[in-house]
Amino acid sequence: MAGTRPGMTIRKAGSVMKLHELAASPGSRKVRKRIGRGIGSGMGKTGGRGGKGQTARSGVRIKGFEGGQMPLHRRLPKRGFKNTMFARKLNEVNLGRIQAAIDAGTLDPAAKIDAAALVKAGIIRRAKDGIRLLGAGEIKAKVAFSVYGASKSAIAAVEKAGGTVEVLAPKPQASEQAA
């Protein structure tokens, strides 16, 4: 009959379904493979783990271990420096999102906009180490910003709209500019 799947039974109109007639669709429930339950199961003895040794045991296997050979991550030269531990975690905010918040009425353009104002308006979840203002989108309102950093395009767009951007980040020293 059209519209039926294998295992489906056709009910007569008006008949009541009973609890013992409920069944899952065929193939929807798979039986778990029970390992280590005798040789007749096909997954007995070693249970699919091979022979003896570290990989046959429960617990940790050594990642990157190459059987005593010098591992690849130790053979390759190490270069560079990662400043992960000391790097500043900044919230990046685009001008378009700030204009949208001003239009929605959650952000007051007359007040100075800083990290606390952005958290209160719901633009960012939490103030990390500061705000970095980016220039995507356009700003129409005259707004005063107080942020850790800002891109050149963001500063230009805010000043074009008649606003100001106060950058709180320390100016780079002469020795850093030369490098």
Flag whether 128 is in a domain: yes
Please write the tens of the pLDDT for every residue from 42-101.
999 998 888 888 888 887 677 888 889 999 999 999 999 988 899 999 999 999 999 999
Instruction: Tell me which residue range forms the domain holding 160.
Output: 91-175
Q: What is the DSSP letter of 131?
A: E
- Work out how many domains the chain is built from and give that number: 1
Domain assignment present for 31: no
The answer to whether position 113 is within a domain reads: yes
Among the listed residues 171, 103, 87, 85, the one whose alpha carbon sits nearest the alpha carbon of residue 143: 103
The pLDDT tens digits of the residues spanning 119-167 come to 999 999 999 999 999 999 999 999 999 999 999 999 999 999 999 999 9
- 15-41 pLDDT per residue, tens: 888 999 899 999 999 999 999 999 999
Provide the CATH number for the domain around residue 127. Answer: 3.100.10.10
Does residue 46 sit within a domain? no
pLDDT surpasses 80 at 175: no
Helix (H, G, I), strand (E, B) or coil at 48: coil
